[in-house]
């Protein structure tokens, strides 16, 4: 597992897989992509063209990007010389069981086998494999060529060497890996996102707020705060000089007693929320919305990086 990272295989070229492909290639890796979609070459070309400005804005050299990306005839060809494999297939346990059994057989023995799984822990699809020590979750946030976080989640049989290698690899491609030491469906990021999403749907269903106004509440308060500090540090600062202890002792019990509703699962109630979101956003093409999102996210990340550089210079 000490083999240098020169060649990557990306298995599954949907939204996440194409984003990984561009990121890996921008960091100088040769990337072999496998997906049964008939338009794979065109999809890769379009993705690289669309993502190149984002990568350049991160200071990466995008010259010759396409030259480092290769369409593989199948999974076997894609992983034949891989140092790392990033799987981005469907969220189905049986699919991942079959695929990772194949990856273990076909990929070189030193290759790190990573899954972008959004909710399924590695142990769920590796229990029957003999060589499960090099398999673990590397869950990104969409799109991974922009958002830095990667949740590194080892399975029950993943080796410490593989965990260290995954952290080294994701760090090398400019991501921020966080190792989670206990498997739990959805991991950490998606569980937090799911909790907020459920409360958001409930509030819209109850007529408290519209989808667009709820988005405004988040982007003009919590979103700004959480881009700079997390929930615990935010609460610690909210407690003033007394910190987290003060805020917990003074308003913690009140906040805990606040009843949080659950969204209705009635089909008609769900449909009303879907239609409300569509009224708010569906008139604008998806590509335009995504580009606006990515432009804003890049601006936030760039500003934060400038601040970090300034703080580092002051420390020196």
In a domain, 288, yes or no: no
What CATH number should be reported for the domain holding residue 145?
A: 3.40.50.720
For residue 284, what are its two tokens?
């604008």
Tokens 């049964």, residue located: 36
DSSP track, 149-189: EEEEEE-TT--HHHHHHHHHHHHHTT-EEEE-SS--TTTTH
Task: Determine the structural domain holding residue 235 and report its residue range.
Answer: 189-283
Task: For the chain, give the number of residues.
Answer: 316
Give residue 82's pLDDT band: very low, low, confident or very high (50, 70, 90).
Answer: very high
Is 171 part of any domain? yes
Q: How confident is the model at residue 312 (pLDDT cuts 50, 70, 90)?
A: confident
Backbone angles phi, psi at 177, to 5 degrees: -80, 140
My answer on whether 51 and 130 are in the same domain is yes
Short-list 77, 103, 81, 76, CA closest to 30: 81
Other CB atoms within 10 Å distance of the CB of residue 210: 15
Assess whether 172 and 274 both reside in one domain.
no
Summarize pLDDT for 255-297 with one digit per residue, the tens: 778 888 999 999 999 999 999 999 999 999 999 999 999 999 9
Final residue in a domain of this structure, among 138, 160, 179: 179
The pLDDT score that the predictor gives to residue 1 is: 44
Q: Please check whether residues 172 and 193 belong to one and the same domain.
A: no
**H or E segment at 255?**
helix 243-256
Are 134 and 256 contained in the same domain? no
Residues 169 and 74 in one domain: yes
Whether 293 maps to a domain, the answer reads: no
Nearest one of 180, 229, 206 to 276, comparing CA atoms: 206
Question: How sure is the predictor about 3, in pLDDT bands with cuts at 50, 70 and 90?
Answer: low
pTM: 0.92
Q: Is 59 helix (H, G, I), strand (E, B) or coil?
A: coil
Strands 149-154, 135-140: pairing is antiparallel
* Domain identity same for 22 and 160: yes
Same domain, 34 and 174: yes
Q: Which of 121, 155, 179 is the last residue of a domain?
A: 179
What's the domain count of the chain?
Answer: 2
Does residue 25 sit in the same domain as residue 74? Answer: yes
pLDDT in tens, 37-72: 999 999 999 999 999 999 999 999 999 999 999 999
129, 146, 179: which is the final residue of a domain?
179
Handedness of CA 277, 283, 286, 288 (dihedral sign): negative
Region 222-226: what's the mean pLDDT? 95
Q: For residues 161 and 197, state if they share a domain.
A: no
pLDDT band at 150 (very low <50, low <70, confident <90, very high): very high
Task: Name the nearest CA neighbour of 26 among 144, 163, 120.
Answer: 144
Residue 2 falls inside a structural domain: no
In a domain, 216, yes or no: yes
**Are both 105 and 214 inside the same structural domain?**
no
The region of weakest confidence among 2-16, 88-102, 156-170 is 2-16
Residue 151 φ then ψ, to 5°: -85, 115
- Give the H or E element holding residue 33: strand 30-34
**Whole-angstrom Cα distance, residue 178 to residue 231?**
16
Does 311 fall in a domain?
no
Instruction: Judge if 210 and 169 occupy the same domain.
Output: no
Torsion angle, alpha carbons of 266, 215, 262, 247, to 10: 180
62 within 8 A of 55, measured Cβ to Cβ:
yes
Q: What is the CA radius of gyration of the chain?
A: 21
Predicted pLDDT of residue 256: 78
H or E, element range at 139: strand 135-140
Together in a domain, 270 and 149: no
């Amino acid at each position: 597992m000490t083999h240098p990272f020169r060649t990557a295989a990306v298995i599954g070229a949907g939204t996440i897989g194409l984003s990984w492909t561009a990121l890996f290639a921008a960091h100088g890796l040769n990337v072999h992509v496998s997906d049964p979609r008939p338009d794979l070459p065109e999809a890769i070309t379009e993705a690289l063209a669309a993502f190149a400005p984002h990568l350049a804005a991160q200071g990466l050299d995008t010259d010759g990007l396409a030259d480092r990306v290769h369409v593989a005839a199948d999974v076997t060809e894609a992983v034949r010389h891989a140092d790392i494999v990033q799987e981005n297939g469907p969220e189905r346990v049986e699919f991942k069981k079959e695929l990772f059994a194949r990856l273990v057989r076909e990929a070189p023995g030193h290759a790190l086998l990573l899954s972008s799984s959004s909710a399924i822990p590695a142990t769920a699809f590796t229990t029957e494999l003999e060589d499960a020590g090099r398999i673990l979750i590397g869950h990104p946030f969409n799109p991974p060529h922009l958002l830095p976080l990667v949740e590194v989640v080892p399975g029950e049989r993943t080796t410490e060497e593989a965990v260290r290698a995954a952290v080294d690899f994701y760090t090398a491609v400019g991501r921020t890996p966080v190792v989670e030491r206990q498997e739990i469906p959805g991991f950490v990021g998606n569980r937090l996102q799911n909790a907020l999403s459920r409360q958001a749907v409930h509030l819209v269903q109850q007529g408290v707020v519209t989808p667009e106004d709820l988005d405004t509440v988040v982007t003009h308060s919590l979103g700004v705060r959480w881009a700079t500090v997390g929930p615990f540090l935010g609460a610690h600062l909210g407690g003033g000089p007394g910190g987290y202890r003060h805020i917990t002792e003074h308003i913690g019990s009140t906040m805990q007693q606040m009843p949080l509703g659950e969204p209705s699962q009635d089909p008609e109630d769900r449909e009303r929320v879907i239609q409300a979101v569509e009224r708010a956003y569906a008139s604008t093409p998806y590509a335009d919305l995504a580009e606006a999102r990515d432009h804003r996210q890049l601006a936030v990340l760039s500003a934060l990086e400038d601040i970090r550089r300034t703080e580092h210079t002051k420390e020196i």
